[in-house]
Amino acid sequence: MCGIIGIVGNASVTDRLIQGLKRLEYRGYDSAGVAVISDGNLLRERAEGKIAALEAKLGSNPIDGPVGIAHTRWATHGVPNETNAHPHFAGRVCIVHNGIIENFLDLRQSLNGRNFRTETDTEVVAHLVDEEMSNGASAKEAFQSTLAKLKGAYAFGMVIDGEDDKLFAARAGSPLAIGIGDGEMYLGSDALALAQLTSDLVYLEEGDWAILTSDGYEIFDRHNNAVERDVTVIVGGPAMADKGGYAHYMLKEIHEQPETVSRTLSNYIDEFRQTPSLPTDIDFAEIDRVILVACGTASFAGEVAKYWFEQVAGLAADVDIASEFRYRKPVLSENSLFIAVSQSGETADTLAALRYCKSHGVKTAALVNVMTSTMAREADIALPTHAGPEIGVASTKAFTSQLTALAALVIKAASDRKTIDSEAVSDHIKALMSVPGLIAQSLQDEPHIQEVAKTLTSAEHAFFLGRGQFVPIAFEGALKLKEISYIHAESYAAGELKHGPIALIEDGTPVVVVAPMDELFEKTLSNAQEVISRGAEIYMVTDKAGQQHAAGAARHILQIPECHNFVSPILTTIPLQLLAYYTAVHLGTDVDQPRNLAKSVTVE
């Protein structure tokens, strides 16, 4: 997945395109490029690598003009080199694209005699538009008929030589917004891209395409009818996208969690009445199964919620990794509630699972951080997490807000299904309300964790263990460590290690054990002893009671504050985030933009 931005106006655009592109860099950073129309000439500059590399090239070879498009790439078709970097040219047409054109090979074959210069799926679109125009179509007709030939997902920004005052745009499966300026119009993959330019956005809907000029825009739907779309005013503006004095977005986002969890709570709990108060009411008495589907970190939030739904609300819950869900043809019942969990609300696999359930008559909810996202729009019920924009590629505050919102859903389910009485409801709510303060307390252990992290930097492998509701937290801890430090980290249910993986334990192997005191603690501790006796070094995430019982078994203790067992998955997450963060910082990796990754994955 990639980021795109465009400006059509009367003043210079290159600097502003580059600034917008930097705010989109979290979406992909394999290569970047910009194209402008200047005095009737289409000019382009591209570079392999990050936007800084493009800036350096522009420094020695500046291009500028009043109309332009730019792109930052996460490679799918074609290696991440300069040749495959967007924008792509064909004749008079120059295009940037986020998505995948699935039938690009067939389309390429249909364009006999055209000279293709790249390995990308995108280039064929530029050729199709140019070919249509060579055969006499107007630019508008050529764009329209090209879109009709495409299969797959796209957000396009396009400029055409000879149509110097226009920006062409289209959206199907990948997000795209028009920004409204004063005497100029903008195009961006998300609100962040346009944060410095405007707060007035029009989100294109599925199948929409548009033509922008400096003083207005026309939008057409998939049947080519002119349509009006609502203007959304974005609050937060430029402040959404800065690091607020922190070294990395990830660290800023870790530190934001007392506030973000608090914001989630205020949208899910009526503190005065001590009852859950969901953004949209759900009657869980009518539901006999919850199906949670997600990818990556969001799937671990779903896994924790499975424990909660079953144990607190007595409600059957399944969790599926989205990329597997629909292909295994799940058996669905009408009384199920499907919940897509997704920070971005755009992850292609999760969206496909949501659509699958909808088409099978299952009620769908989307627990998302981006309320303008496709999932929020398409689900029957949109549940916002309110974590605010998350820029670090490694998800932190979105995860704890997902857990918080899911915990509120579980309390509502338990109350509706009468599996707990009002006193217990109130107990659970009090526990949840204490989380922001307890996270703030956990963050005070940061200097200690920073030191502990130094001991991980020489590790080639690490293991993460947990039992019960801490299994998914162990998975999340391992994912955080591997994605930003590149240390190979594996996670297991603690009881499973002895069935094979224990063979990998050697002298000094770091094993992170997530085990606050609970009824499974002693068993987890036994599993820790099994690896200690084979040379492992234990990093234990536990509370005071756990620390006392562990007495000397652990080489390092990452202590969480005393809390209700219900909320301890949220609290155990915090030291794991800091441990991964500081390990990566000590190793000098690119924390906010780790290699090979992108923030939201809008391809299958």
Which residues contact ligand M6R by CB under 6 A? 295-298, 342-344, 347, 350, 393-395, 479, 483, 600-601
Q: Give least dist CB 195 to ligand M6R, A.
A: 19
The two tokens of residue 560 are 């969480």
Contact by Cβ (8 Å): 93, 130: yes
Q: Give least dist CB 478 to ligand M6R, A.
A: 11
Q: Give least dist CB 15 to ligand M6R, A.
A: 30
Nearest residue to ligand M6R on Cβ basis = 296
Determine which one of 2, 295, 357, 563 is catalytic: 2
User: Is 599 one of the catalytic residues?
Assistant: yes
| Rounded alpha-carbon distances, angstroms, from residue 112 to 108, 124, 151, 183, 278 | 7, 11, 20, 41, 57
Q: Quick one: CA dihedral 224, 357, 348, 149, positive or negative?
A: negative
Q: Is 187 helix (H, G, I), strand (E, B) or coil?
A: strand
Is 341 or 560 the residue whose CB approaches ligand M6R more closely?
341
Q: Taking each helix axis as running N to C, give the angle between helix 139-149 and helix 123-134, from 0 to 180 degrees, rounded to the nearest 10.
A: 130
Half-sphere exposure of 45 (CA within 13 A, CB side): 19
CA distance 260 to 427: 22
Alpha helices in 280-347 (DSSP H): 296-313, 322-325
Contact by Cβ (8 Å): 336, 287: yes
Q: In what order do the strands lie in the sheet with 289-294?
A: 316-321, 289-294, 336-342, 363-368, 381-384
Q: Is 167 helix (H, G, I), strand (E, B) or coil?
A: strand
- The H or E element containing residue 453 is helix 446-454
Q: Give least dist CB 182 to ligand M6R, A.
A: 33
Contact by Cβ (8 Å): 550, 540: yes
Q: Give least dist CB 80 to ligand M6R, A.
A: 18
Is 82 or 318 the residue whose CB approaches ligand M6R more closely?
318
Is 128 or 351 the residue whose CB approaches ligand M6R more closely?
351
Is 18 or 439 the residue whose CB approaches ligand M6R more closely?
439
Is 2 or 517 the residue whose CB approaches ligand M6R more closely?
2
The two tokens of residue 162 are 């000879």
Contact by Cβ (8 Å): 148, 179: no
Q: Give least dist CB 383 to ligand M6R, A.
A: 13
Alpha helices in 486-532 (DSSP H): 521-532
Is 200 or 590 the residue whose CB approaches ligand M6R more closely?
590
Is 84 or 344 the residue whose CB approaches ligand M6R more closely?
344
Residue 278, number of CB atoms within 10 A of its CB: 18
Q: Give least dist CB 390 to ligand M6R, A.
A: 9
Tell me the residue length of the chain: 604
User: Is 2 one of the catalytic residues?
Assistant: yes
What amino acid positions are annotated as catalytic residues?
2, 599
